Amino acid sequence: MVEQTISLENEIKKFLVDLLIQENNIDVAQLKLDSHLKDLDIDSFGFLEIIFSIEHQYNISFPKNFDHIKTLQDVINVTHDLVLTKNISV
* Domain total in the chain: 1
Q: Which domain holds residue 27?
A: 2-89
pLDDT in tens, 17-31: 999 988 888 888 888
Q: What spatial distance separates the first Cα and last Cα of the chain, rounded to whole Å?
A: 17
CA dihedral 70, 72, 73, 78 (to 10 degrees): 70
Note the pLDDT of residue 26. Answer: 84
Measured distance CA(26)–CA(17) in Å, rounded = 9
Query: Is residue 82 within 8 Å of residue 62, measured between CB atoms?
Result: yes
* pLDDT of res. 13: 94
Model pLDDT for residues 30-77, shown as the tens digit of each residue = 889 998 998 888 888 999 999 999 999 999 999 888 888 999 999 999
Contact 12, 81 (CB under 8 A): no
Taking the model in full, what pTM does it have?
0.86
CATH number, domain with residue 54: 1.10.1200.10
CA–CA gap between residue 86 and residue 8 (Å, rounded): 13
Q: Which pLDDT does position 2 carry in this prediction?
A: 57
Answer yes or no: is pLDDT of 4 > 90.
Answer: no
